[in-house]
Amino acid sequence: MVEPFDISQHKGIGSTDPEKRPHHVREQENWGDQIPHEMLETLAPNGEGEYILDKINHMSEEEAIDIIAESLEFHSDDWNFPSDMRSRMSRLLQGRKLYGEFYDRDLRIDATMMKYSSPYPGVRAVQELEINDDIPIETFRAYFLGIGWILEFLLPDWGITVFGTRHSLNPGPWTFKEQMFATICFNISIYTTNSYSMILVQKMPVYYGEKFVTFGYQLMLTLFVQTMGMGMAGYLRRFSVYPVKALWPSLLPTIAMNRALTRPETNETIRAFGRTWKASRFKVFYVCTITMFIYYWLPGYLFTALSTFNWMTWISPHNVTLAILTGSNLGLGLFNPITTFDWNVATSSYAALAQPFFSTCTMYIASILGGLIILAIYYSNMYNTAYLPINSSSAFTNNGTSYDVQAVITDNKLDQAKYQQYSPPFYTAGYILTVGGNFAFYPVYFLYITFNQWKTVSGAYKDFYKGLRYGKGNYSSRAMDVHNRLMAKYPEVPDWWFLLILVVALVISIIFLEIYDLGTPVWLTFLLLAINLVFSVPLSFLSATTGTNLGLGSLIQVITGYLLPGNYNAYLYAQALGSWALAGYGDNLVQDLKLSHYCKIPPRAVFRSQIGTIIITCFVAVGTQDFVMNNVKGLCTSDQPQKFTCANDGAPLYSNSLMWGVLGSDVMFGNMYPLLKWCFLIGFGISILFLIPQYFGPRYLPGVKEKLRVKLRPKTFELLDRTVFPFVASLLWLNPVLIIQGLDHWSPSNMSYKTPGMIL
């Protein structure tokens, strides 16, 4: 956090300070003429150079100063705001004499970026700065997703005119906006199986083997889970779509790729490896695609050991310590610099090409610290972890075998006699750290983001209230953000549309709980909704600004385990609805809304595509998963011939359901793992530990530094200025939420999946 910028110090500069007084120049002077070609390509990477130059040349000094002063105050707590731009804007406000050469040019450039473009280079590379109503978007062929190019040549230009607008089967060449509209439809369809893991654990004999999980059960559950998530998206859009700080870095590569596929572009000069290349984005894309397709046969089929490259354990195959430290399967993957040659593995933990570097770097260093903590837990035999694998998400008995939940259950409830005779479930050191880190995460992220981003969050709540009471949308033609001004031309989706969907989904969920004997009270649905209304806001904002997310699963499981102990069906229901659907799926739909925001796709067109795609793909997804569960032999077993072992969906959820659903939170906290309950308090302390210095540090440290400058010898102060002061300043920007995420991002993951992502 940096020192809040006082905008009042810069309003009316011209009348008080002769050094900073705006310099009135000839009207015909073009500041854009001072911009080199390379700089213009950075400012306007998509061919909008004339538009940007026009804004720069016609901006007055007074307007530019006001824009920069307002922007500095607004972005004072923005983690993604470019540090060099922040420093330059601060120096610009000190006046012409102190800034030096190119004052007028740089003043107008930064002001233009703030008001008519974007301060974020990644957004500038993909954004749309105009709206052309003649470009088709919501077309018949766009709903057919990936075959749009074929339909461009096959379909006739037949259409009808409705309310003055012609709707044709084939309105002409396939457009970028159609491509993005189809992409949004596809994004919605791939997330329509949020209830799949719950159904899998309930139905499969290797887990609970419930007989009531029929096709109708699956369809009804999936429908209300998905539609309830859409209702939540309407609530979250004011926090994670409209604010300019809601960058969503993970979306920018998707837009860039689709631009390359659909828009003709001239060759760009690329300097790399001591050579100069000329290529368009499309050429780079298809060359990389063909190369990756050919290369993938090597780690994916011909030599699969390259996928998880366990080469260090080959040195001494029977060395258990070496396997623990460097192994990629049940080990920690530490001290192995080359862990994979498979792109899918390398990018499985970090979205290396999209995620901000500060996010990846912070989490990676924290993960190394987490690995050392796991080693300490394991070798000290804390909670008997030394008798188990060091890093697994599975549950084990007291003799080290896999835990069979059927041995301790009678009539879907925990049988205490069987439980005492069989064994409590034991967990690995890696899994204990993961669970403890998850518990510490919630107070950290909620308190830190709420206080750190209070201006943004509180403003969004006010807008949400106005939207419900007055039907007021958030897009404004007078907004500072250019994207909000442009999107104001389209009719907004009213809040009551999303509210209606949410109410209908709630009614269906109540009917569902009454029809099927889950032993789950109706009030649990309303409790889950209330929890998500509070906690999903900072969680969604975290995703929008850092490109990372954790979910509400751990918080939901503790609450459910306390309120409904011994009821694994209630636990699974709470996970499907409270963790995946409301916060998780709602967040996915919000990302699509941000895609349309960047690409200037009408909000109501996106709404129609979302609700239509959800309903259709629910039937398709449920039909597919029901066929798989009924026809794939040995599904979710460790020796399944096609490797359908459910290691990433069924197994972790099953282990959690044992811990929190069958045993309950009181047993886990009170008897087996009492330290876990203190992790919530630890998280609260960590958030305070970071908030206090980051709030007061920028206010008092400059004065302390100035006093040291006076008292210390010049050489001593110069040494501190090069070493200690920059380190302390960097700590003021350290994000504890990312630290906790790195710490708990372990079982079943390990450093073998993180190191290549960090290198990339």
Strand partners, 160: 167
Could you give the count of Cα atoms lying within 13 Å of 721 in the half-sphere of its Cβ? 13
**pLDDT at residue number 309:** 85
The amino acid at residue 506 is: L
- 438-463 as b/e: b if 16+ CB within 10 A: bbbbbbbbbbbbbbbbeebbebbeeb
User: Rounded to whole angstroms, what are the CA distances from 229 to 195, 524, 590?
Assistant: 12, 16, 10
The answer for residues whose C-beta is within 8 angstroms of residue 744's C-beta and 6 or more apart is 370, 433, 434, 435, 436, 437, 438, 440, 441, 550
698 upstream amide cis, omega within 30 of 0: no
Phi, psi dihedral angles at 402 (to 5 degrees): -65, 145
Question: 483, 114 in Cβ contact below 8 A?
Answer: no
Cα(725)–Cα(753) distance, integer angstroms: 34
What are the φ/ψ torsions at residue 331 (nearest 5 degrees)?
A: -90, -165
Distance in angstroms (rounded) separating the CA atoms of residues 525 and 531: 10
Is residue 159 helix, strand or coil?
A: strand
- The one-letter amino acid at 392: S
Which residue type does 267 have?
N
- Looking at residue 487, its pLDDT comes to 86
Cα–Cα nearest to 592, from 354, 226, 259, 248: 248
> SS3 for 165?
strand
CB atoms inside a 10 Å sphere around CB 95: 18
Give me the pLDDT at residue 550, please: 74
- Residue 390 · residue 332 · CB < 8 Å: yes
What burial letters (b/e) apply to 118-145, b meaning 16+ CB within 10 Å?
bbbebbbbbbbbeeeeeebbbbbbbbee
Q: Which helix (H) or strand (E) holds 410?
A: strand 409-410
**Against a cut of 0.95, is the pTM above it?**
no
C-alpha–C-alpha distance, residues 689 and 23, integer Å = 46
Q: Tokens at residue 221, please?
A: 């559950």
CA distance 757 to 445: 24
**pLDDT at position 31:** 81
What is the structure's pLDDT at 8? 41
CB-CB contact of 195 with 516 (8 Å): no
Contact predicate 53/35, CB 8 Å: yes
Residues in the chain: 760
Q: Sign of the CA dihedral 241, 243, 244, 248?
A: negative
The 8 Å CB, 24+ separation contacts for 601-605 are 601/137, 601/177, 601/180, 601/181, 601/184, 602/137, 602/138, 602/490, 602/491, 603/487, 603/490, 603/491, 603/492, 603/493, 604/490, 604/491, 604/492, 604/493, 605/137, 605/138, 605/181
Non-local (6+) Cβ contacts of 453 within 8 A are: 77, 245, 538, 541
In the chain, how many H helices and how many E strands?
34, 6
Q: Which amino acid is at 213?
A: V
Concatenate the DSSP letters of all residues of 580-617 into one string.
Answer: IIIIIIHHHHHHHHHHHHHHT--HHHHHHHHHHHHHHH
Question: Who contacts 331 (Cβ-Cβ below 8 Å, separation ≥6)?
Answer: 313, 323, 324, 325, 390, 391, 750
Instruction: State the residue for tokens 């979250």.
Output: 236
DSSP3 helix / strand / coil % (the chain, rounded to 5): 65, 5, 35
Q: What is the pLDDT, as a whole number, of residue 395?
A: 81
Residue pair 494/607 in contact (Cβ under 8 Å)? The answer is no
Which pLDDT score, from 0 to 100, does residue 412 have?
A: 61
Q: Looking at residue 470, what is its pLDDT?
A: 64
Strands 268-272 vs 275-279: parallel, antiparallel or unpaired: antiparallel
- H or E element, residue 442: helix 429-452
Bridging pattern class, strands 413-414 and 165-168:
unpaired
Structure tokens at 250: 């993970």
Spatial separation of the C-alpha atoms in residues 610 and 588, rounded to whole Å? 11
Can you tell me whether residue 136 is helix, strand or coil?
A: coil
- Block means of pLDDT (10 residues each) for the chain, 760 residues, are 42 42 53 83 84 89 91 84 87 87 90 89 83 74 59 70 70 81 83 80 88 92 90 88 86 84 70 70 82 88 84 88 86 86 83 80 91 94 92 86 80 80 89 90 89 81 73 61 85 90 94 90 93 87 81 85 88 88 80 90 91 88 90 83 78 81 78 86 91 84 83 85 80 85 85 86
> H or E element: which one contains 161?
strand 159-162
Domain spans, the chain:
7-124, 141-179, 184-248+441-673
Helices (H), 155-301: 176-189, 196-203, 215-240, 252-262, 281-297
On whether the CB atoms of residues 408 and 419 are closer than 8 A, the answer is: yes
Q: Which helix (H) or strand (E) holds 160?
A: strand 159-162
Q: Which positions ≥6 away from 757 have C-beta within 8 Å?
A: 346, 347, 348, 349, 350, 352, 360, 364
